[in-house]
Structure 1
Amino acid sequence: MKIGEVLQVIADCPQSFRSVPEEAVKHGYQLITEPEKVGQDIYFYIKVVK
């Protein structure tokens, strides 16, 4: 992915609510919004900044 692009991640594991944001930041990406839960799914929007 290129700098400025946004990746949408959809997960259904409750653990991902914590692990996805931690891993994104750990690898130099930016979480643009708080995780959003819709039914069983959790939506994350991650921006490439490096």
Structure 2
Amino acid sequence: MYALDALKTMKRGEILQVIADCPQSFRSVPEEAVKHGYQLLEEPRKVGQDIYFYIKVVS
């Protein structure tokens, strides 16, 4: 997942916006983010075909 690679380069407190169009990402992105120690700021939001995630670096 490219989002995890991007999160590794970010500083504490920064927020990554992830936009995905794969229905499976609705579940997998939040699970992987939390599993790796990041914070999901809100529930995923679907707009048309796109799913928006906001992930915060907490450590």
Q: TM-score, normalised by structure 1?
A: 0.99
The structure carrying a bigger strand percent of its residues is 1
Aligned match of 2:40: 31
Percent of aligned pairs with the same amino acid: 88
- Runs of 4+ in structure 1 off by over 3 angstroms are none
The structure carrying a bigger helix percent of its residues is 2
Aligned match of 1:45: 54
Aligned length in residues: 50
How far residue 41 of structure 1 moved from its aligned partner, in angstroms, is 0.1
How far residue 9 of structure 1 moved from its aligned partner, in angstroms, is 0.2
Taking only aligned residues, the RMSD between alpha carbons, in angstroms, comes to 0.3
SS of 1:23's partner is: helix
Q: Structure 2, unaligned stretches of length 5 or more?
A: 1-9
